[in-house]
Amino acid sequence: MSASGSKGRALDPAAGGLGIDAAVALSADAEQAWIAVIRKMDETYAELVTQQVELENKNAALEEAQAFIAGVMASMTDALIACDLTGRIEQVNVAAERLLGRSGSDLLELRLADLLAPETPTGFADVLAIVAKRQRIVDRDFAFATPEGPLPVSVNGAIRFDSRGRAVGIVLMGRPIGELRKAYSDLAAAHERLKQAQQQLVHAEKM
């Protein structure tokens, strides 16, 4: 065998005994593999960034919705009490705190039955019976226990459902009967004044 032929098949010590061409081919394959790995890492990172942005947007929308609901509840003049089907109170508004003379944190440790005076015309058992029939609570008289004594309240309510349509709780809204009577009295007085004004107008037109 000629010397030149031996040189053509010379081994590269750095290639672990492989020929130079084979070593170059392995090096190119390894480089392509690393490039593929880096590209996959870039794609994964881009997906994570996109998901993070979407999550932040959803959180911002959720916080905005919660702030809106809190603002609406705070501005309500009627007392709102939300409880689960066992009567455990889950949410109240500021009007309910004022009506019952208790803080929101105190109310969340109680059940609806704990808030009712012994002489209440409508008890928690009545509420459960209405809920069992899938009916609404319409202008029912309740008596709530307050630091000043039993307080008559006119209450309306409905069943609260979850996203699957299952009944999970009850929402009650009430206003002291004294306030309602005053509102009805004011409305009747305003109606009477309107009638008198109309009569005076008709009389003036005839003259």
Q: What CATH number should be reported for the domain whose range is 78-189?
A: 3.30.450.20
Of 121, 108, 63, nearest in space to 81 by CA: 108
| pLDDT value of position 23 | 60
Band the pLDDT of 65: cuts 50, 70, 90: confident
Structural domain boundaries in the chain: 18-75, 78-189
Please report, to the nearest 10 degrees, the dihedral formed by the alpha carbons of residues 187, 188, 193, 197 taken in order: 100
Q: What is the pLDDT of residues 17-61, one digit of tens each?
A: 555 666 656 677 777 888 888 888 988 999 999 999 999 999 888
| pLDDT value of position 24 | 59
Beta-carbon count within 10 A of 127 CB: 23
Q: Name the β-bridge partners of 116.
A: 144
